[in-house]
Amino acid sequence: MDALIDPKTGDYAGTRTETLANAVYLRLMTPLGAWWADRSLGSRLHELQREKDVSRVAMLARQYSEQALAPLTQDGRANRVSVTTARTQPGWLALQIEVEDASGRIQHFQHPVRVA
């Protein structure tokens, strides 16, 4: 069991988790190549903060998220990962992430992405 990271604050929530919540959060929030121990961990979502809020950005956000989360299926912790995007308000996209873990349990996560 891992200490749960609160996605709203980025700090420990004070509880434990057996889900893939921390793995999903860290892979989306860490800029790709920024962690010294594993240069392949992370995503390119931080690059979208400079992009205009157009439909192409939603497609890029989905692609960047799928690339960042692909190692979860490659190392056997997840069977399937799917990502959809939705505009929540001007300047923000919401990623809806569905992960089927190795035991077959479906987990849902939501991650906000800022766009210009």
Domains, the chain? 2-114 (3.10.450.40)
| Mean pLDDT for the stretch of residues 41-52 | 92
3-class state of residue 106 by DSSP: strand
Burial 25-63 (b: 16+ CB within 10 A, else e): bebbbbebeeeeeeeebbbbbbebeeeebeeebbebbbe
Residue 1's pLDDT band (boundaries 50, 70, 90)?
low
Q: Is the pLDDT of residue 3 over 90?
A: no
Q: Whole-angstrom Cα distance, residue 31 to residue 42?
A: 5
Higher pLDDT, 115 or 80: 80
Enumerate residues 6+ apart whose C-beta is below 8 A from 8.
none
pLDDT at residue 11, rounded to an integer: 84
As a whole-number percent, the residues of the chain with pLDDT over 70 amount to: 99
DSSP state for residue 48 in the 8-state scheme? G
pLDDT in tens, 53-99: 888 999 999 999 999 999 999 999 999 999 999 988 888 999 999 99
Q: Whole-angstrom Cα distance, residue 10 to residue 96?
A: 18
